[in-house]
């Protein structure tokens, strides 16, 4: 039985060039970057070179990049700093954000007494910009808007330029969880000047356990935990040298091949959509995930015309790895909080599955998956 991996929004296979680089680094670059001897200096130099190279991809300066253990830590670092360090008294977000954002916002509301408002979203998962403008204009409290650039479950793309314009007009800060963007779409922060963004290397064929937070120049950063002075005092912990270098390499590969990979994966996604509709005319797609312009080309959230609680299990038993929602909840009995917000009544009763693709996905794998779906239906 051929193993088929269609859960790339959860994590991706590490690129072979990244593995090779990390293997060499583990053998040759083992010094502690905080040590002053030659081994430490070599490691420190490698980390700082990686920081500069990563920053160039987003048209920002190296000091604006802070290395973290991934997107969740980066979101937490940004949101906590916004409230505890930058004087934010109010956060506007949505109910379909990643839990790294929603749970952190709820914690800050409980512990710091901030105001927490939720902007309306429509049935496609798109932000109601008119409501956002109303929320921004009805308070003089210092406000942070936190809205993800691409939804990790349904792939809906945020109108980030319009959100930024509203934030700028109303003197609000703008944070976006960009985990599903980095390595898949170009992002020039001089054109869409986010105040804060995050990345996680394992979403673009890099290693797990490493990512970064972007803080626009001029914002001081208060650490979330203490014990050292790494990352210019922003994050105490010995730098994960090999993973940082792996992330740099993965991003370099992704950016270099971005257009080629995008075309390839778009074709895979469109083929899958077309063939699914042949399987059943009642096959539907959640959010805007079947729209190649308005959703990520890597994500397709399919609503099957049946209610089959064993569908994910059956696909897994056939060697096909997919997700029923956010992978961060895959071990939980709870359903998708995103789908719960956008699907109502009979729609919510149907079984939904997230398929997500990468440059390693093949048409043959899609055909095998389609055949299994036909059998299950």
Catalytic positions: 328
User: Considering only CA atoms, which of 108, 48, 113, 120 is closest in space to residue 78?
Assistant: 108
| Beta bridge partners of residue 272, listed in sequence order | none
d(CA 299, CA 288): 10
Q: Residue 309 to residues 128, 205, 329, 349: CA-CA distances in angstroms? A: 32, 31, 16, 10
State phi, psi for 139 to the nearest 5 degrees. Answer: -150, 145
| Neighbouring C-beta atoms of residue 50, cutoff 10 Å | 24
- Measured between alpha carbons, how far apart are the two ends of the chain, in Å? 20
Mapped onto helix, strand or coil, the DSSP state of residue 320 is strand
CA dist 54 and 33 (Å) reads: 18
Please name the helix (run of DSSP H) or strand (run of DSSP E) that holds residue 27, with its range, or none.
helix 16-28
CA 305 to chain centre: 29
Of 3, 5, 2, 1, the residue nearest 298 (C-alpha): 5
What span, in angstroms and rounded, lies between the C-alpha atoms of 303 and 266?
20
Of 206, 191, 204, 221, the closest CA to residue 76 belongs to: 221
- Angle subtended at Cα 305 by Cα 300 and Cα 311, rounded to the nearest 5 degrees: 70
DSSP secondary structure letters along 274-288: HHHHHH-TT-EESTT
Quick check: 129 and 162 in contact, CB under 8 A? yes
Q: How far apart are CA 297 and CA 233, in angstroms?
A: 38
Q: How far apart are the C-alpha atoms of 6 and 369, rounded to whole Å?
A: 9
124-135: b (≥16 Cβ within 10 Å) or e? ebbbeeeebbeb
């Amino acid at each position: 039985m051929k193993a088929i991996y269609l859960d790339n929004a959860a994590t991706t296979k590490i690129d072979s060039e990244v593995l090779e680089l990390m293997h060499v680094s583990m053998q040759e670059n083992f010094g502690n970057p905080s040590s002053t001897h030659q081994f430490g200096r070599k490691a420190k130099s490698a980390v700082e070179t990686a920081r500069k190279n990563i920053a160039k991809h987003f048209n920002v300066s190296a000091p604006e990049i802070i290395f973290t253990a991934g997107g969740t830590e980066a979101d937490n670092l940004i949101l906590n700093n916004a409230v505890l360090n930058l004087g934010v008294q109010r956060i506007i977000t949505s109910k379909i954000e990643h839990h790294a954002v929603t749970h952190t916002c709820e914690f800050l509301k409980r512990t710091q007494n901030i105001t927490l408002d939720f902007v309306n979203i429509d049935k496609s998962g798109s932000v109601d910009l008119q409501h956002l403008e109303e929320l921004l204009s009805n308070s003089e409290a210092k406000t942070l808007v936190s809205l993800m650039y691409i939804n990790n479950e349904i792939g809906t793309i945020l109108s980030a330029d319009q959100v930024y314009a509203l934030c700028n007009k109303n003197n609000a800060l703008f944070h976006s969880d960009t985990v599903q963007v980095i390595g898949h779409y170009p992002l020039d922060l001089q054109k869409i000047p986010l105040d804060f963004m995050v990345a996680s290397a394992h979403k673009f064929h890099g290693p797990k356990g490493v990512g970064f937070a972007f803080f626009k120049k001029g914002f001081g950063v208060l650490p979330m935990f203490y014990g050292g002075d790494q990352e210019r005092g922003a994050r105490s912990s010995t730098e994960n040298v090999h993973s940082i270098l792996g992330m740099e390499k993965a991003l370099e590969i992704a950016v270099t091949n971005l257009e080629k990979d995008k075309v390839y994966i778009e074709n895979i996604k469109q083929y899958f959509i077309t063939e699914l509709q042949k399987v059943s005319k009642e096959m539907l797609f959640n959010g805007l995930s079947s729209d190649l312009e308005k959703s990520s080309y890597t994500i397709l959230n399919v609503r099957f015309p049946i209610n089959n609680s064993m569908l994910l299990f059956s696909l897994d038993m056939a060697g096909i790895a997919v997700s029923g929602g956010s992978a961060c909840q895959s071990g939980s009995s709870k359903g998708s909080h995103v789908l719960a917000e956008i699907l109502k009544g009979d729609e919510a009763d149907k079984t939904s599955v997230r398929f997500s693709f990468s440059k390693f996905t093949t048409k043959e794998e899609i055909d095998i998956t389609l055949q299994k779906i036909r059998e299950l239906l």
